[in-house]
Structure 1
Amino acid sequence: MRARIAALMVAAAGITATMALPAAAVTTGAGTTAETGTTVCTTVLNQPCVWHETDGAGVVGVAQVTADPGQLTIVKVEVRTQRAWGSPWVTAASATTYAQGFAKAVTPRVVTEDLKIVCATAGPALDVAQQVTTCTNPF
């Protein structure tokens, strides 16, 4: 029971921290990507924090998740592209990591002029029903 209360308090603190951010920040799932390109992830158990890193050579998708240290955790991150508005999103690169507790995954670099989005699914590896998917805004 104490663990559940602690988890709720952590979730509430994460929501409160997100609400206190400046208006220039963009919320992406459980994390926040600042305009400067640095990413600060609030700690919400089993909620993926997802962002992209861009340079002249392309874009990579990054996701991480914090979980109970004894939990087998999965995090899968995908960079998806869309050729034209309304067409389906196609996975251009993906990466999956399994770990005890904290897990992080980084996709291979994608080079394209198409519209992109980064999505991550994370949570307990042995309980698909508790896994959560979060995506960035298209860029």
Structure 2
Amino acid sequence: MNARIAALMVAAAGIMAATVAPASASTAAAGGTTPVTNGAGGASCTTVLNQPCVWQEKDGGGFVGVAQVSADAGQLTIVKVEVRTQRAWGSPWLPAASATTVTKGSAKAVTPRVVTTDLKMVCATAGPALEAAQQVTTCTYPF
């Protein structure tokens, strides 16, 4: 049992490193960043080209997942945001709501409202719509 818990902790640390490291690398490669407030009075995001900014906003009795991405005006851009829930620690993360936006230039997507007492996480994938290899995925910490 202890070995199984240790293996899950190592896997969780690996996932965390995979989501944090690309953001740090993109920020460094961009040469300069601009902090942006999401407008809801909560999260502050750093504007990095084709790097999604993701957060959750309270909405009545639940919350919505929100993601936005900055892109060149002529670029066909995709942003996909998904709310994932987990019933019990160690169980799989299951999608609860999602939204996708495809447009030229910068984009934003907002999921439908989710009401749950399960552990929650919001993930977003964004970047050039026609180049999947250049799309980046970012997730919030579970809440």
Q: TM-score higher than 0.5 here?
A: yes
**Is the 2:27–2:48 Cα contact (8 Å) retained in structure 1?**
no
For 1:89 and 1:105, the matched residues in 2 are separated by 20
Shift of 1:38: 2.2
Shift of 1:69: 0.6
The answer for the alignment partner of 1:93 in structure 2 is 97
Identity %: 73
The answer for the alignment partner of 1:51 in structure 2 is 55
Shift of 1:61: 0.1
**Is the 1:37–1:53 Cα contact (8 Å) retained in structure 2?**
no
Q: Which runs of 4+ in 1 moved over 6 A?
A: 7-10
Normalized per residue, the structure richer in helix is 2
The counterpart of 2:73, out of the listed 57, 69, 73, is: 69
Shift of 1:37: 4.4
Which moved further from structure 2: 110-119 or 52-61? 52-61
The answer for the alignment partner of 2:125 in structure 1 is 121
Shift of 1:32: 7.2
Shift of 1:13: 2.1
Structure 2, gaps ≥5 residues long: 1-25
Q: Counterpart amino acid of 1:82?
A: Q
The counterpart of 1:79, out of the listed 73, 77, 83, is: 83
Aligned residues: 117
Shift of 1:59: 1.0
Matched, 1:110 2:114: yes
**How does the TM-score come out when normalised to structure 2?**
0.74
CA distance 1:47–1:81, shift in 2 (3 Å): same
